[in-house]
Amino acid sequence: MVALLLPFSAVAKLLDVSYFTLDNGLEVAVIENHKAPVVLQMLYYKTGSINDPKGKNGIAHLLEHLMFRGTKRVKDQMFSHLTDKYGAENNAYTTYNETGYYEFSDITKLELMMALEADRMQNLVISDEAFLKERDVVLEERMQRFETKAAPLFYETLNKLLWQDSARAQPVSGSAEDIKGLKKEDAEDFYKRWYRPDNALLVLSGDIKPKEAKMLVEKYYGGISVKEKLMVAQNQVLPPRQTDMFIKAKLVGVEQSRFVNYIRIEPNALNNKDVLALEILAEYFAGDDTAFLYDALVYQSKKLLGIDVGIAYDKDTGGVFSFYATPADERAEASDIWKWIERAVEDGIAAFDADKLEKIKHQILSDTVYLQENPQDAARFVGGMLLASYRVEEIENYDEIIRAVEVKDVMDAWHKVLESQVKIKGYLERAEQ
Amino acid sequence: MRRLNKINIYIVFCSLIVVLGAGLFNHYFSFDADRILEKSLLKGRTFQGNVQQISSKDGYIHAYLMEEHSVPLVAISFGFEKAGRAYENKEGLGVLIKSTMLDGAGKYSRQNLRRLMKEKGIKVGVDVSADRLDFSLTYVKEFEKEAIDVIKAILYEPHFDEKDLTLARQQLAVIRQQQKESPSYYLGRLVDKHFYGQHPYGRENIADDAALLSVKREDIRAYLQKVMGKNNLHIGISGDINRKKAEDVLEEVFGGLVDQAGVHQLDEFVADYNASEAEVDVAFSAQSFVLMLARGVKRLDKDFYPLYIADYIFGGSGFTSRLNKAVREKEGLTYGIYSYFTNSDGVDLWQIYFSATPENANKAVDIVADEYQRLYQNGVSKEELENAKRGLLNSFNLRFSSLVQIAEMLKVMQVQRLGADFLQKRQDKVRHVTLEEVNTAIQQRMPKTLKNSDGARWFYVRGQKNKKNVVVVTKY
């Protein structure tokens, strides 16, 4: 095992990350990569659909669209016109707890991208015309994602059941009913409350030195002032009502039955070490087709044709430990499917030992080496870690944190999952045409 | 007079303040992109990617290499021409190869091979398109020897055990079923049936169960031995590896291939751009999906760049294209609309694609046709051309951000016969395109109208109006 712990010796630190905070509260991380004269600017706002007010579900996402439709100084379509003309790949996305904007450009164009991003942090103007058209676009987006295929709608339903009355039960895209009722003022209120430097994280990744970066970030973002104190959202996740539910759904358009099990994990139930331990466990269970559950259920017993296990967690808003499975025989009883998985999980837990842990750790380590290869991947990795409140030294030496995980840590974390109060199992059946 | 003079002076004085104010206002409050770039601390940084043409000692194996020693990683992309799905002598070979090629090779069992790759950070990808069989290999320099062992075992001694083939056939059936849950699948089948017809390009990407079952291990082995040759192989290498070492790797990894691959000829495909439109209803979708096909342009055609720029302005550039402005921004009819050129061995196409609710889709089709008339009759403007050229020039360096991406680009440069000096030439080619060239090419090479049966083929997957999918939950 010793030999296994020594490879990748050429790599001193996983990544070099410089980190600082401006007086106005903007957090900044800089990752150097001088392979090519390009840079990714990634701006995260720490807000998302979880902050959609009741009855206004979808406003965080609609605002993300409106951010491209003009400011006091950069009017109408000028933002997109400039990013196109100066060759920047750019887009944005919304999740339940973050909203990200990025521009990937030649290094010589970075200052313009910073000026544009800083401008729309403070000067957004929403015209009636743009608001109404963009609301239509968002409805079409919702249609394309959820009303043209059956499975996404099913997962959305499970998510609703899982988060009960909490804001996390709302879909990121918004429900069609809510979207239709959104007003321009809703977007303006959301923008005023959440889009501010002290609620944002800026990551620059690529051909830039920390010193230059700091100067430029000061120049473009330093002047944005913060007047009132940030009002942190309260009670986004309400206490769980004990539920262990099994649901079935038949939907037209489903050609392949599938099984899902979502296990809800409460805010602050896990620390960062627990989350990492569960990532290791998910990798051990089903990280690839030689993993434990795959081997047992697909390769050996042939009961399933595929299995996936995942953990997604945020300490403020909680998370989900999930199982997805495709049965080999569609006539299988849905309740049996979980029994097979549950038994195999128990076997897997019993068989988990230091040897197996070392192997999984090593697999994860070998993947992290590739972060040096791609500045965009590195930015997303570092951004995600900072949002999860990892310290910079921990990110730079993430390999050491991985190495420090012990079998006991994995078992402890798994027991925390088992203590969950809310478990929703679901079976999506093929509908007879 | 005095009074008047005073007023005049006052007016002059006031207007100066206004002018001065406007100057100050512009300086502090207006947004001047060119000025920001002109004064930028970062301006003037340049970069030249250096492509080396390298060969094995026997002179049979060639590759493009771009050295990059700042990270201890190496990426190799390679592909075999005329070894894709459309060239198969038995349907299903390609997808089964893709699914099972890493399930054990040489001395490595399936389990051991995967484990070794994971533990040493060796990544291997296998992909099959209609035209080509493609591979990628990425490794940490420290484990070069192991990586070469692994890729050689995969190329020369893949197992294709019956157990793995059986599982792959079942899993491919699942993927085939899941594809049918998406309206875009039905759009693809519609094009297969009405545009490609009996040509191999019209085959479903995953062959049916009977076909998959009839493909045996011996078939796969014989096929691979035949179609993987030195003469139809293109290789791109990028990363922490010097010329000498890269040439050794060529010899060692690819030296065992046959000199001449025995590939089938692709049946000639005669596209019909004048036949009528085709449509199909999909009961479960609330949106319609729309695709237009018209004649495209070959990569080495003299009009390639003028047409590429015309398309970029019309629908290729994304947010600021004419189509996106007219259909999405102005009318809010769709989440996105795109046009693009595609090239394959048998056919070059120009396409337009979008999805929208059924009512909106009909409106959007009319707007697309109108916008196209404007393009065809009036061409593009000087300003549009300059902006498009600047966009294409300014985004050039983005392709060098990742080694994997560079290796892939170096391979594609060979597949498309662009030459090793392509990267030097490309910027000038874009820069020198004139307004006349673009607008003449539109007139001469693109359809007169986008009306169906007139050089453009339209395909519709019809969604259902006011369709509301409801998940009915049954507890049990």
Supply the DSSP string of B285-311, one letter for each residue.
Answer: -SSEEEEEEEE---TTSTTHHHHHHHH
The reply to whether residue B391 touches residue A105, judged by beta carbons under 8 angstroms, is no
pLDDT < 70 positions in chain A:
1-12, 432-433
Give the model confidence (pLDDT) of B280-317 as tens digits: 999 999 999 999 999 999 999 999 999 999 999 999 99
The reply to whether residue B400 touches residue A106, judged by beta carbons under 8 angstroms, is no
Q: Is the dihedral of CA A155, A158, A164, A165 positive or negative?
A: positive
pTM above the 0.90 mark? yes
3-state secondary structure of A14: coil
Residue B115 pLDDT > 80, yes or no? yes
- The predicted pLDDT at position B395 comes to 95
Mean pLDDT of all residues belonging to chain B: 92
- Over residues B173-197, mean pLDDT: 95
> Which amino acid does the sequence have at A46?
K
The reply to whether residue B325 touches residue A77, judged by beta carbons under 8 angstroms, is yes
The reply to whether residue B181 touches residue A78, judged by beta carbons under 8 angstroms, is no
What are the strands of the beta sheet with B133-140, ordered from one edge? B52-55, B62-67, B233-239, B73-80, B133-140, B123-128
The token pair at A34 is 């001088």
Chain B contacts of A106, Cβ < 8 Å? 394-398
Q: Cα–chain-centroid distance for residue A106?
A: 26
Point out the residue among B115, B320, B334 whose CB comes nearest to the CB of A290: B115
- Restricting to A residues 142-161, those with a Cβ less than 8 Å away from any Cβ of B are 143-144, 146-151, 153-154, 156-157, 161
Give the model confidence (pLDDT) of B344-372 as tens digits: 999 999 999 999 999 999 999 999 999 99
- Which site among B28, B108, B141, B174 would you substitute to test the A interface, given the most A Cβ atoms closer than 10 Å to its Cβ? B174
3-state helix, strand and coil shares in percent for chain A, rounded to the nearest 5: 45, 20, 35
- Over residues B9-32, mean pLDDT: 50
> What is the C-alpha to C-alpha distance for residues A50 and A96, in angstroms, rounded to an integer?
5
- Over residues B443-449, mean pLDDT: 95
Q: Cα–chain-centroid distance for residue A37?
A: 28
Range list of H helices, B204-297: 209-214, 217-227, 243-254
CB A134 within 8 A of CB A89: no
The token pair at A346 is 């128990």
- The predicted pLDDT at position B332 comes to 94
DSSP type of residue B259: S
- The predicted pLDDT at position A362 comes to 87
Chain B contacts of A368, Cβ < 8 Å? none
- Over residues B112-138, mean pLDDT: 95
- The predicted pLDDT at position B454 comes to 79
The minimum CA-CA distance between B147 and chain A, rounded to whole Å, is: 13
- Over residues B317-343, mean pLDDT: 95
CB A320 within 8 A of CB A312: yes
Chain B residue with minimal CA distance to A144? B287
- The predicted pLDDT at position B28 comes to 52
Give the model confidence (pLDDT) of A353-362 as tens digits: 999 999 999 8
- The predicted pLDDT at position B12 comes to 42
Chain B residue with minimal CA distance to A10? B72
- The predicted pLDDT at position A7 comes to 43
Q: Return the bridge partners of B444, or none.
A: none
- The predicted pLDDT at position B21 comes to 42
- Which site among A81, A89, A139, A143 would you substitute to test the B interface, given the most B Cβ atoms closer than 10 Å to its Cβ? A143
Chain B residue with minimal CA distance to A119? B31
The minimum CA-CA distance between B85 and chain A, rounded to whole Å, is: 25
The reply to whether residue B286 touches residue A147, judged by beta carbons under 8 angstroms, is yes
Residue B79 pLDDT > 80, yes or no? yes
pLDDT confidence of B476, banded at 50, 70, 90?
low
